[in-house]
Structure 1
Amino acid sequence: MWRLIATSLCQRCQRVKALPLNLRPCATLSSAENQQTVEALYDLSVDIQKVRKLKGWVLYQSPAYAKEVGNLLQDMGASGSIVARILAAHPEAVLCHPEQMQAQRELWMSVCPNQKELVGIIEKFPASFFTSSSHNDNQRNNIAYFQRLNINKRIITKLMASAPQSFSRLVEQNEVMVRTLQQAYQELGGEEANMKIWFQKLLSQNPFVLLKAPEVLRENLLFLRDKGFSAAELLRLLSKLRGFVTELNPDTMRCTMAYSQDTMCCSEAELRDIILNCPALLYYPEAILAERFEGLLGAGISMSQIRETPTVLELTPQIVNHRIQLLRAHRYDIKTGSLEVLNGTKKDFEMSYGKLQLRRERPLFNPVAPLKTDD
């Protein structure tokens, strides 16, 4: 919370003593609300009561630039309702100086295809756009670095939006982690020609991967290699699971693997195959796995079915039960049928479920087709 708020405020907020609840003002603290700010927010149809409830301290700051923020967003094509939503969710935006906002606009437009898309990003990630002016140089240097790596502009934009810390820090720190990831890819047998695509996919799936310590990546890869995973298998894991190997540690993986092996009564070789099909087994805590195993078994699913389709462990018991009920309505016996129909996102399941509906509702004959008669 502290870091999110701190990075969202303008430069001078860093020189002011922290308020209770770890909230920093960006400007001079007044004993009464800044009426100019309140009136400007009213004019922009912002939910003032929501602002007072969640971040009321913003209304006591002076100077503030609510009108200027509204004008900037509207000039970029934002509708009145979008401006109101942005400022209700992130009222700290009114504390950033207009020059800083304009500088951010120009910086983001260097990688964003158009202003409409930038407005959409600001609506989802306002704290990433309304950030400290002290980060401008780092943002600019990091953008230039990723462009030199020929990273797609959309991926750079996604990184800036969802993991702004990667761009607010020194470019040298990102360079170290990028080199570590590229070296790991090459050492595990990855083809040089495919490295750019692999790296872009990794950044797209896990924007926070650059914020991890390079040492963690090396330790986790060594641990998994000691557990019998081949270089090719490690590359599959590194490519498949959103950079998970930078978010775990050997101790947690050791406990989770031991629990999974005991529960599924499988050999180490079988467990490796199961993990390659369902890497989530490496990072789900024992308590979550226990709940999911219990839920699946309680629904009548056998352990052998789970071993054959371990990805069902990625679903919560509530989702599993809901999907099973829908399938039973179409006479699909989950105890004897494949668990693949349970898998995937909501959209994936709806497609599988729709096919079952069509199969059940399809007539035995086509009433439109002409009847075959003897000549």
Structure 2
Amino acid sequence: MLRVIVRSLCTRCQALPHPSLLSRPCSTSGSLENTETVDALYDLSVDIQKIRQLKGWVLLQSPAYVSQTAQLLRDLGADGPKVARVLELFPEAVLCSPDEMLAQRELWSSVCPNPKELVGIIEKFPASFFTSSCHHSNQRENIAFFRSLQLNRRVVAKLMASAPQSFSRPVQQNQVMVKTLQEAYLELGGEEANMRVWLQKLLSQNPFVLLKPPEVLRENLLFLSARGFSATQLLRLLSKLRGFVTELNPHSMRLSLAYSQDTLACSDSDLRDIVLRCPALLYFPEAVLEERIQGLLGAGVSLAQIIQTPSVLELTPQIVSYRFQRLKARGYSVGTGSLEVLNGTKKDFEASYSKLQLRRDRPLFNPVAPLAGDD
């Protein structure tokens, strides 16, 4: 009889929902999670199931500093949703000790004193902020180095955020690459008075240039010089490529240039001019160039138009097709008109399209203007 009663009670208990299961998603991990971590994250409205799927190992660690991490973000001005978003994107943040977090806050405040801006950086690049204390010494030395170059604080903060590896490594490696860039700039005819602005712009546009071997830069510049580019042209190209010249190599550039010249049927001099107006010809593989050129030709564009506006090759076939449709709907002939209207970002295109529309819709006479009468 007792066994029957117990069995019926167990069956009844199994049928009733357990309070904790209603409020917290269950773990699917075979290892034991740190319940304090899970509870603290849940209280912050963090999507724990998302963390389990992507970075479940974090929930197994002990100690974890969830409340301290959340408090640090609140002290900087982050509201509840922002705190939850940071912890969902980078749950490893809770494994940083309070001392490490305070050290990072002090470090980052030296280049980003505005708490609101710092919260914005942490939202986008949490891994750059919540980093190991073993990198603090290198970070400090690299900050001091880039500040000694008189770079804007925001540029230094952007470098730290988007390319944290360059600040975690020894400062000597960054010094070598920066010196190589400065020497190349001066050797190509750049003015020393403008070098700081040039370097700041280049690093801001492509922070990862710091992580490339310095010899790659010189090798690629020598190759382009051998192809007939003058020092002035190389300086323009280096600036337009925004440091991406360090990601190229002579072999791939040789193939891309050969295909472009054969397809566009242009001279060496004309090819150099086209490359200066469309540096993408250097780094796009032959297959990409073929797809884009053939796509334009198939849409009724001539080779002469492409040569006149080669920067259109920087657009993907999907973007070109969409913009062609928009223009044709307005009666614009892409086969006879300029391709310049296609160029630029979405914002640039919309501005050009709007001007084109205004020209088309403008009345032939001003209805408000007085009519000329007989004297």
Q: Same fold (TM over 0.5)?
A: yes
Cα shift at 1:362: 2.9
Task: Quote the Cα distance in structure 1 between the aligned partners of 2:306 and 2:276.
Answer: 14
Larger deviation, residues 117-126 vs 236-245:
236-245
Alignment of structure 1 residues 2-151 onto 2, 5 Å: 31-151=31-151
Q: Show the counterpart of 2:14.
A: none
2:248 equivalent to 1:252: no
| Structure of greater Rg | 2
Structure 1 residue identity aligned to 2:287 = A
Task: Quote the Cα distance in structure 1 between the aligned partners of 2:150 and 2:341.
Answer: 39
Cα shift at 1:202: 0.7
Is there any run of 5+ residues in structure 2 with no aligned partner, and where? 1-28
Cα shift at 1:363: 3.2
Larger deviation, residues 314-323 vs 284-293:
284-293
Cα shift at 1:354: 0.8
Cα shift at 1:257: 0.6
Q: What is the DSSP-based 3-state SS (H/G/I as helix, E as strand, rest coil) of the residue aligned with 1:178?
A: helix
Cα shift at 1:374: 5.0
Structure 2 residue identity aligned to 1:216 = V
Task: Quote the Cα distance in structure 2 between the aligned partners of 1:131 and 1:370.
Answer: 72
Q: Show the counterpart of 1:320.
A: 320
Q: What is the DSSP-based 3-state SS (H/G/I as helix, E as strand, rest coil) of the residue aligned with 1:232?
A: helix
Task: Quote the Cα distance in structure 1 between the aligned partners of 2:37 and 2:57.
Answer: 12
Task: Quote the Cα distance in structure 2 between the aligned partners of 1:33 and 1:84.
Answer: 19
Task: Quote the Cα distance in structure 2 between the aligned partners of 1:48 and 1:373.
Answer: 80
Length, aligned pairs only? 347
Structure 1 residue identity aligned to 2:143 = I
Q: Show the counterpart of 2:215.
A: 215
1:268-302 CA distance string (max 9 Å, x none):
11111100111110001111111111111111111
Task: Quote the Cα distance in structure 2 between the aligned partners of 1:209 and 1:350.
Answer: 32
Cα shift at 1:360: 2.7
Cα shift at 1:31: 2.6
Q: TM-score, normalised by structure 1?
A: 0.90
Task: Quote the Cα distance in structure 1 between the aligned partners of 2:219 and 2:104.
Answer: 38
Amino-acid identity (%): 72
Q: Show the counterpart of 1:268.
A: 268
Structure 2 residue identity aligned to 1:241 = L
Cα shift at 1:359: 2.1
Cα shift at 1:304: 1.0
2:306 equivalent to 1:306: yes
Task: Quote the Cα distance in structure 2 between the aligned partners of 1:360 and 1:253.
Answer: 42
Q: TM-score, normalised by structure 2?
A: 0.90
Q: Show the counterpart of 2:164.
A: 164
Cα shift at 1:140: 0.3
CA-based RMSD of the aligned residues comes to: 1.4
Cα shift at 1:106: 0.8
CA contact (8 A) 1:30 1:60 kept: no
Task: Quote the Cα distance in structure 2 between the aligned partners of 1:217 and 1:54.
Answer: 38
Is there any run of 5+ residues in structure 1 with no aligned partner, and where? 1-28
1:289-327 CA distance string (max 9 Å, x none):
111111111111111111111000000000001001101
Cα shift at 1:367: 4.1
2:173 equivalent to 1:182: no
